[in-house]
Amino acid sequence: MTKRFHEEAFDSGTLLKLEIFRGYTRNWLPVFLSRVSYPNVNIFDFFSGPGKDKNGQEGSPLIILNELDQYLHDPLVPKASEVSVSVYFNDDNEKNIEDLKKNISEVTRGPAAYSIRFAKKDFEIAFMEELPELKRPDTANLVILDQFGLKQINDKIFHELIACPTTDILFFISSNHIKRFISEGCIQQYFPLPEDEIRKVGSKEIHRYICNKFYRNLIPKGCEYYLAPFSIQKGNNPNIYGLIFGSRSVFGLQKFLEVCWDKDSVTGEANYNIDNDSIRDGQLSLWQEDNVIKKQDQFKKDLEGYIQSEQPTNIELYRFSLENGFLPGHTNDILRELQKSNRLEVKDPRTNENIRKGAFYVNWDSYKKHEARARFSKKRC
């Protein structure tokens, strides 16, 4: 990889990664551009590259600008004219930035409704310079960190990022390298993880593990911060790498998971059979209990257990779904099934009356308004 990355055609894994960048940018823009919640909206691409591969396939910077132009030129979507939009591209390779400027000028039609800044610095220097902007309470930021390898998003940078008030992050990491070279000092320096444990983690699950066992553990206790991984395998190559999403907003998490479930309708987190589900490979087992999607089956059991033990409200169920990597729609489907088989009680928490069949209010609108409109419990059989 490295130096020749943009002199070759992007491979299938890179294209999927870029599609996820695109999908999340597309979901993120309307949240901050349709009305003035923050007067300053920034998109940072700290490892931008030159904008294209050797075949002219768009990389992250052109994808970002494309999505911005599409949104800002769409007459059918609401736009708050008072919002000022700024895009920042950095790459430590000077030629990449010069090529990027040229590539942008070739696709730009007329004056843009946003400003663009370029920098040619080592990531850490560029990041520290931009940190005051990221920390401003009146900015909403999307930060894309498409590093080579793994060492740039270390614990120090991650701590800084999660402390920024309204900042969603999406970063790439070669997780398989951590497993492969875990005993080496250069890896231990950044990922001081127990070697024995890492060796036991299956290759397919390593990216999920790095997200949940390394980055999640860096989040200070009591800090509301959401993370989600998406694992990527390139063709039949056993090496696994992937993206990690982070946000202080549960709605941000929903928007990211929508992109993930669109790419993987089985687990919402990989472009391969991450849990070795035989049914996903088209093999049916003699044992009926094996013919399930493990992650979906586990979520169903966890959800039922949660309802039984906690009698949660719609607000709590909304958060529970997303924290477990599932969308509100998945939860609503399970609730419907439980209700149909007469195993669910749904009451209005204020009156303790049964509420209309099929009404669950597990959605962002109710969550945002703190509207506890339903309380769920299991019916005794």
Binding positions for ligand SAM, rule: CB under 6 A: 5, 18, 47-49, 59-60, 91-93, 96, 122-123, 146, 148
For residue 276, what are the contacts with CB-CB under 8 A and spacing of at least 6?
A: 204, 294
Structure tokens at 30: 């309307």
Residue 96 or 233 with smaller CB distance to ligand SAM? 96
Structure tokens at 244: 């990690």
Residue 22 CB, shortest distance to ligand SAM, in Å, is: 10
Helix (H) / strand (E) containing 328: helix 328-340
Alpha-helical (H) ranges within 34-184 are: 60-73, 94-107, 123-135, 155-162, 175-180
Residue 45 or 205 with smaller CB distance to ligand SAM? 45
The Cα 85–Cα 280 span in angstroms is 43
Residue 379 DSSP label: P
Q: Which residue matches tokens 């009680």?
A: 345
**Burial category of 55 from C-beta neighbours within 10 Å (exposed 0-12, middle 13-18, buried 19 and up):** exposed
Residue 51 CB, shortest distance to ligand SAM, in Å, is: 7
Q: Are strands 40-45 and 375-378 parallel, antiparallel or unpaired?
A: unpaired
Residue 148 or 323 with smaller CB distance to ligand SAM? 148
CA-based radius of gyration for the chain: 22
The Cα 340–Cα 331 span in angstroms is 14
Residue 121 CB, shortest distance to ligand SAM, in Å, is: 7
Q: Using CB atoms, what's the residue nearest to ligand SAM?
A: 59
Amino acid at position 288, single letter: Q
Residue 257 CB, shortest distance to ligand SAM, in Å, is: 22
Residue 12 CB, shortest distance to ligand SAM, in Å, is: 14
Residue 91 or 275 with smaller CB distance to ligand SAM? 91
Residue 77 or 125 with smaller CB distance to ligand SAM? 125
Best CA proximity match to 237, nearest among 204, 211, 208, 279: 204
For residue 160, what are the contacts with CB-CB under 8 A and spacing of at least 6?
A: 127, 131
Residue 18 CB, shortest distance to ligand SAM, in Å, is: 6
Residue 179 CB, shortest distance to ligand SAM, in Å, is: 20
Residue 264 CB, shortest distance to ligand SAM, in Å, is: 21
> Contact at 8 Å (CB) between 148 and 2?
yes
Residue 119 or 374 with smaller CB distance to ligand SAM? 119
> Contact at 8 Å (CB) between 172 and 146?
yes
Residue 122 or 195 with smaller CB distance to ligand SAM? 122
The Cα 68–Cα 86 span in angstroms is 10
Residue 34 or 93 with smaller CB distance to ligand SAM? 93
